[in-house]
Amino acid sequence: MSVDLAVDFCGFHLENPFILAPSPSTDQLDLLIKAFEAGWAGAVLKTVTVDSSIVSRVFPLVMRVEHVMGFMGIQNIDLVSEHSVEEIEQHVRFLKKRFPNKAVIPSIIATNKDDWQMLAERMVEAGADLLECSISFPHGAEWGLCSPIQEPGGTEEITRWVKEVTGKVPVVIKLSAQDSDIIATATAAERSGAEGVCALNTLKSITGVNLDTLIPYPNVAGLSTYGGLSGPALKPIALRCTAEIAQKLNLDIAGSGGITTWQDGAEFLLLGASSLQLCTAVLRFGVGIIRELSTGLQGWMEEKGFQNLKDVIGRSLPYLVGHSQLPRGIQLVSQIQPAACDGCGTCYTVCRTGGHAAIHWRDGLPQVMVSQCTGCGLCQAMCPQQAIFLARLMGERAVLTG
C-alpha cells in the first residue's frame, strides 16, 4: 500500500509534515539548503526584528538539561536573529527561487504596529509562503521586544495588524507555554484572522545550579539568567496544548515541543497537529534525521492501514474526555513479567510509599498480591525495566487491557 505523507498546512501543500523550527539551524543559509535537499518540507527562519543590533548576545547561549534518567532538553538564552531584515529578505528570495515547493516561513517580532506591519509587508514581498508571529519570549523581555506573558488582548491586536498587510499569505501565531489560558489566546488569534497557531514556544526555566560555584547555569562571566526550555521535557505540555486547541478551535496547528522521533510526531498528529516543527532534535542529530522521521512515520501508517495524513490527524481526540466522564468501577491489577524483571526493588518501594503494600518478595523477585492491589499504576510508572503491565481483573483472572 502506498502511503502519502503530504499535507496542507494553512493552505500550503507540504510534501511531508516535518518543518524546521526557528533556531540557529534556520539562521544559516547553507544549513537551510542542506535541510531542504535532505527532505524537510519547510523551515521557519530564526525570528527577525527591526533592528537586531539592539540585542547584544552573551555566551554560552545554551545549557544541557539533564537528570538521572538522561537527556531532558536544553535551556537557551538566545534571542533574535543577528541578521538584518535585508539579509532575511535575501534568504527568503534565494530559497523560494531554488526550492519553490518548500515552505519558507519567516518569523517576526516587533514592539509597535508600524514595525509589525513593516516586517510583515517586507517578508510577504520577499516571497514568504506563510508568516509566523512570535508575540512573546520566555526570556529577554527587558530588551523591549515583547511581553514576557502572552495574553488574548495583545495577541488579537497584533494579529489584526499583521493580517491587514499580508493579503493572501497565511499568518501563524506562536503560542506561549506560560499562557494561563492558551485557549483564550488561540481564540483571539482565530477571531482576528490567523489561519494557524504554533503550539508551543519554549518554557521559562532555570537549568540548575553549580553546587561548587553556587552560580546557576549558564555561567556568563559569573552571572546567569532565565532561559527557554525545549526538548523532550516540553513534550507533555505541548501535546496537551495541541489537543485542547484541536478540540475547541478550527485552526491549523503546528505541533512543536519535544518532537525527537517519528513516534513523537505521530502522537502530535493524532492529537490534531497538521505540521510538526523540530528544533532540539535537529541540533542533536543533524538535518539527516528527516530520513528516519519520514520512513518511520510512513512504515507505521502502512502497518495501521492509514493511506494519508487525513486518516491520522485528530484520530485520538475522541478518546480525550473530562475526568468525570472516565469509566468507574473497573478493577485493575499489576502483573510483573519475570523475564524482564531485574529485581531492582523499585516497585516494592513505591508500592509501600504510595501504594497499598501489594508487592512482596519471593525467591528474590517481587510478587503481586492480587487481593491487595488496587491497580493504581505507580509500580508500572516507576519500573525502569518496563517489566510491569496492568491487567483487568475478571473474576479471579487478570486480563491484559492494552
User: Over pLDDT 90: what percentage of the chain?
Assistant: 79
CATH number of 249's domain? 3.20.20.70
Per-residue pLDDT band at 50 (split at 50, 70, 90): confident
Give the Cα separation of 33 and 153 in Å (integer).
38
Q: Over the chain, what is the mean pLDDT?
A: 91
Q: Say if 2 falls within a structural domain.
A: no
Give the Cα separation of 265 and 290 in Å (integer).
12
Residue type, 64: R
What was the pLDDT predicted at 315? 98
Q: What is the arithmetic mean of pLDDT over 118-131?
A: 98
Write down the pTM of the prediction: 0.92
Asked if residue 277 lies in contact with residue 203, where contact means CB atoms within 8 angstroms, the answer is: no
Question: Is the same domain home to 112 and 176?
Answer: yes
Q: Say if 192 falls within a structural domain.
A: yes
**Given a cut of 90, is residue 273 above it in pLDDT?**
yes
Question: Is the same domain home to 112 and 227?
Answer: yes
What was the pLDDT predicted at 149? 64
Per-residue pLDDT band at 51 (split at 50, 70, 90): confident
Say which residue the cell 530520513 belongs to. Answer: 291
Question: Is the same domain home to 146 and 180?
Answer: yes
Question: Is the same domain home to 28 and 152?
Answer: yes
Per-residue pLDDT band at 26 (split at 50, 70, 90): very high
What was the pLDDT predicted at 136? 78
Question: Is the same domain home to 303 and 349?
Answer: no
Q: Say if 131 falls within a structural domain.
A: yes
What was the pLDDT predicted at 247? 98
Q: Say if 266 falls within a structural domain.
A: yes
Give whole-number Cα distances, 26 to 66, 106, 325, in Å. 25, 10, 44
Instruction: Find all residues with CB under 8 Å of 326, minimum gap 6, and list them.
Output: none
Q: What is the arithmetic mean of pLDDT over 285-306?
A: 98
What was the pLDDT predicted at 141? 63
Burial of 283 (0-12, 13-18, 19+ CB in 10 A): middle
Question: Is the same domain home to 384 and 259?
Answer: no
Question: Is the same domain home to 287 and 340?
Answer: no
CATH number of 371's domain? 3.30.70.20
Question: Is the same domain home to 138 and 25?
Answer: yes
Question: Is the same domain home to 239 and 334?
Answer: no
Last residue of a domain, one of 264, 287, 319: 319
Q: Kindly report, residue by residue over 312-347, the tens digit of the pLDDT.
A: 999 999 999 999 999 988 889 999 999 999 999 999
Question: Is the same domain home to 264 and 395?
Answer: no
Last residue of a domain, one of 319, 338, 369: 319
Q: Whole domain around residue 383: which residue ranges? A: 327-400
How many domains does the chain contain in total? 2
Per-residue pLDDT band at 248 (split at 50, 70, 90): very high
Please list, residue by residue across 36-67, b when 16 or more beta carbons sit within 10 angstroms of its beta carbon and e when fewer do: beeebbbbbbbbbbbebeebeeeeebbbebee
What was the pLDDT predicted at 77? 83
What was the pLDDT predicted at 67? 66
What was the pLDDT predicted at 139? 63
Higher pLDDT, 16 or 402: 16
Q: Kindly report, residue by residue over 250-262, the tens digit of the pLDDT.
A: 999 999 999 999 9
Q: Kindly report, residue by residue over 357-391, the tens digit of the pLDDT.
A: 999 999 889 999 999 999 999 999 999 999 999 99
Q: Say if 1 falls within a structural domain.
A: no
Question: Is the same domain home to 92 and 164?
Answer: yes
Grid cell at residue 18 = 516535518
Identify the bridge partners of residue 71 per DSSP, sorted by sequence position. 66
Last residue of a domain, one of 257, 291, 319: 319
Instruction: Find all residues with CB under 8 Å of 286, minimum gap 6, and list them.
Output: none
What was the pLDDT predicted at 57? 65
Question: Is the same domain home to 174 and 111?
Answer: yes
Q: Say if 45 falls within a structural domain.
A: yes
User: Over pLDDT 70: what percentage of the chain?
Assistant: 90
> Poorest-confidence range of 117-131, 267-281, 289-303, 329-343?
329-343
Give the Cα separation of 252 and 302 in Å (integer).
24
Give the Cα separation of 140 and 59 in Å (integer).
14
